[in-house]
């Protein structure tokens, strides 16, 4: 469409357009990288404009002016999310932060709870039918435009054309400014590559082929994305698309083929990245841009089966409370999309959420896992909503667990130098028992090499991994689930009580070299239960004693043999030459497992009906 022929009366210069803004107006500006830079500059530089209230979700261009005294005298800036370029201004009290869920911001506009007089937006040139596109900034821009009395649009040929809720007809624009300029680019920097790689390593293990992902705001969730290139047929339903997605698109890791809701499409609300990303989404039918009240609606999110939400945090306290928007009393970012997606993922079939964060801040001097949130820190995600927390030291599964278990899980993934202190402070808060032992100070990343699984005849999988302090409660449940005969064969007595002292001693003595304990886990619903435990303990520098027990319903399926195989490999790595075992003579099943794996095993009769088994590690 030729707008000069169709609506020449609407076409104005930037300076003329902003003169349509009256003093005292409430002005909405389009989001982030899609913001109309020429209109923003013209508005700020028009000194006749006074007492203007500006609403924006993510702000970039205004950061060039916010520290000028003349700006604060004429403009009041209200942001729903504080971008990196605006943080210092927020710390200095030059910004009014509005905490709100992204899914609910459009309702604030539509209901006039937040009234809008003027909307400044940026769109693509119209097609032959007169439809422009909001391109990379649909999110709350659509509702802001629809709720404002006057809409001023900057038409920029660099704005990509996208499908979905992005279409805007020139009839709905009151004034048009034609101005060609490069879009704002957003390229977050990775602060610590090693930490990113370690966190990505753990996240990778939680993401299955075919699941649908949401990636939250922040450099860390975005930096994790390239490490998912080994996955297959991932789907996307997310608020923001960044450059981190590009390798997954180009390598066909993201296909959206297995999405059950809106299959074959990336559902998103905005783009923030480089010109390469903007070129990729331009006229790309795979992308389906919808407004924030749709994309972030927990009920819509929940329609995606196997949805995994990945977002970041500034702090996590020992009860599971998450702070994302402030450092103490200083507002730092925003609630954004985290709560919407955490609640949506919890309602999704087999869905869950992951919070990722480095274990420390301020160059390792401060723990991000804390006994209580910093004074003034806001709770964005409640302890009732949190599911999984990941640091560079491991994974803490919190959903459905009590405070005692949460403390142990989180202390286990805190930085080693803070673990004992965290346990001490948890005792002071009466979160845990006074005799609770702190987790080891070792960096346990090497334990990932000892993880493996086994497919059983039933089709179930059993996952083997080293025992961790957080397994104490599940260990208790395991031992109490065993039949009397199984307990007798393992402990040589009819033990009835498996005390906390016994269970704590079991994991406290595991140093993963001289003493090793493995557990076998099976999936039961959304959680995993222990089905087998095997261990070895040093007898002398070359010999270790081995023992294991398998739950009755999993016996005779190769579980014991696999435990023995893994323990042998670990023992050999730690320079042991032989295993010994003490077995009751009537426990022929156990003796058979040893003889099958070690055909040259030597058996001798001991006192009390016991058999001593000696096995050389070849």
Which run of H or of E encompasses 454?
Answer: strand 452-455
Percent helix, strand and coil across the chain, each rounded to 5?
35, 25, 40
Helix (H, G, I), strand (E, B) or coil at 350: coil
CA atoms within 13 A on the CB side of 113: 10
Tens-place pLDDT, residues 288-316: 999 999 999 999 999 999 999 999 999 99
Tens-place pLDDT, residues 459-495: 778 999 998 888 888 888 888 888 877 876 676 555 6
Tens-place pLDDT, residues 360-403: 999 889 999 999 998 888 888 899 999 999 999 999 999 989 99
Work out the angle at residue 5's Cα, subtended by the Cα atoms of residues 3 and 46, and round it to the nearest 5 degrees: 50
Ranges of each domain in the chain: 3-178, 193-428, 444-616
The DSSP 8-state label assigned to residue 58 in this structure reads S
**Measured between alpha carbons, how far is 89 from 525 in angstroms, rounded to an integer?**
48
Residue 22 clears pLDDT 70, i.e. is over it: yes
Lowest-confidence pick of 29-43, 184-198, 559-573: 184-198
List the one residue out of 572, 569, 551, 570 whose CA is nearest residue 560.
551
Same fold? 3-178, 193-428: yes
Q: Which conformational region is residue 530 in: left (phi greater than 0), alpha (psi within -120 to 50 degrees), or beta?
A: beta
Enter the pTM of the model: 0.87
Work out the angle at residue 431's Cα, subtended by the Cα atoms of residues 427 and 434, and round it to the nearest 5 degrees: 40
Tens-place pLDDT, residues 592-607: 999 999 999 999 987 6
**Measured between alpha carbons, how far is 413 from 419 in angstroms, rounded to an integer?**
8
pLDDT at 496: 58
Q: Confirm or reject CATH 3.40.1080.10 for domain 3-178, answering yes or no.
A: yes
Which run of H or of E encompasses 316?
Answer: strand 315-317
Tokens 């009151």 belong to which residue? 174
Hey, how many other C-beta atoms are within 10 angstroms of the C-beta on 87?
17
pLDDT at 483: 82
Give the CATH fold of the 193-428 domain.
Answer: Glutaconate Coenzyme A-transferase (3.40.1080)
Helix (H, G, I), strand (E, B) or coil at 370: strand
Q: Which two tokens stand for residue 457?
A: 């005849």
Residue 128 clears pLDDT 90, i.e. is over it: yes
**Measured between alpha carbons, how far is 457 from 545 in angstroms, rounded to an integer?**
30
pLDDT at 319: 94
- C-alpha distances in angstroms, 132 versus 182, 195, 288? 18, 43, 16
Task: Give the start-end residues of each E strand in 106-157.
Answer: 118-123, 131-133, 150-155
Using CB atoms within 10 A of its CB, is residue 399 exposed (0-12), middle (13-18) or buried (19+)? Answer: middle
Q: Confirm or reject CATH 2.10.109.10 for domain 444-616, answering yes or no.
A: no
């Amino acid at each position: 469409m030729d707008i000069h022929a169709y609506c020449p009366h609407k076409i104005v210069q930037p300076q003329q357009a902003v003169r349509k803004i009256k003093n005292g107006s409430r002005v909405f500006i389009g989001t982030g990288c899609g913001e109309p830079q020429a209109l923003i500059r013209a508005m700020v530089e028009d000194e006749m404009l006074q007492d203007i209230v500006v609403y924006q979700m993510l702000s970039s261009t205004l950061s060039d002016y916010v520290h000028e005294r003349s700006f604060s005298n004429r403009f009041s800036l209200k942001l729903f999310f504080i971008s990196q370029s605006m943080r210092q201004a927020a710390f200095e009290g030059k910004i009014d932060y509005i905490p709100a869920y992204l899914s609910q911001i459009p309702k604030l506009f539509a209901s006039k709870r937040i009234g809008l007089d003027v909307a400044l937006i940026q769109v693509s040139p119209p097609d032959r039918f007169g439809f422009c596109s909001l391109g990379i900034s649909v999110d709350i821009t659509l509702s802001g435009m629809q709720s404002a009395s006057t809409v001023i649009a900057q038409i920029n040929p660099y704005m990509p054309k996208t499908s979905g809720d992005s279409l805007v007809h020139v009839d709905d624009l009151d004034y048009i400014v034609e101005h060609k300029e490069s879009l704002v680019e957003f390229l977050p920097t990775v602060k610590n590559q090693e930490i990113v790689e370690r966190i990505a390593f753990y996240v990778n293990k939680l993401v299955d082929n075919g699941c649908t992902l949401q990636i939250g705001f922040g450099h860390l969730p975005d930096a994790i994305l390239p490490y998912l290139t080994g996955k297959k047929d991932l789907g996307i339903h997310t608020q923001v698309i960044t450059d981190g997605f590009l390798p997954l698109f180009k390598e066909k890791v993201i296909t959206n083929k297995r999405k059950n809701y809106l299959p074959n499409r990336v559902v998103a609300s905005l783009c923030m990245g480089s010109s390469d990303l903007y070129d990729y989404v331009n006229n790309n039918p795979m992308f389906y841009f919808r407004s924030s009240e749709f994309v972030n609606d927990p009920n819509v999110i929940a329609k995606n089966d196997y949805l995994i939400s990945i977002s970041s945090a500034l702090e996590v306290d020992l009860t599971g409370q998450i702070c994302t928007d402030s450092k103490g009393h200083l507002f730092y970012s925003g609630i954004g999309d985290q709560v919407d997606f955490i609640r949506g993922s919890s309602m999704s079939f087999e869905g869950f959420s992951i919070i990722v964060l480095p274990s420390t801040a301020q160059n390792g001097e401060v723990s991000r896992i804390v006994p209580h949130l910093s004074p003034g820190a806001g709770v964005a995600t409640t302890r009732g909503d949190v599911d999984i927390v990941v640091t560079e030291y491991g994974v803490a599964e919190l959903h459905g667990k009590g405070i005692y278990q949460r403390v142990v899980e989180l202390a286990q993934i805190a930085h080693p130098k803070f673990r004992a202190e965290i346990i001490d402070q948890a005792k002071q808060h009466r979160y845990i028992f006074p005799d609770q032992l702190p987790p080891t100070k070792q960096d346990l990343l090497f334990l990932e090499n000892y993880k493996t699984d086994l497919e059983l005849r039933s089709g179930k999988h059993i996952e083997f991994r080293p025992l961790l302090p957080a397994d104490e409660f599940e260990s208790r449940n395991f031992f109490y689930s065993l039949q009397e005969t199984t307990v007798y064969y393992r402990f040589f007595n009819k033990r009835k009580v498996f005390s906390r002292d016994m269970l704590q001693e079991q994991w406290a003595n595991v140093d993963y070299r001289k003493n090793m304990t493995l557990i076998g886990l099976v999936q039961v619903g959304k959680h995993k239960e222990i089905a087998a435990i095997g261990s070895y303990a040093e007898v002398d520098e070359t010999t270790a004693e081995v023992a294991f027990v398998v739950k009755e319903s999993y016996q005779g399926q190769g579980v014991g043999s696999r435990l023995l195989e893994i323990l042998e490999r670990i023992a050999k790595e730690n320079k042991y030459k032989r295993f010994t075992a003490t077995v009751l003579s009537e426990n022929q099943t156990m003796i058979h497992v040893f003889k099958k794996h070690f055909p040259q095993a030597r058996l001798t009769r001991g006192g009390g009906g016991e058999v001593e088994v000696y096995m050389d590690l070849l």
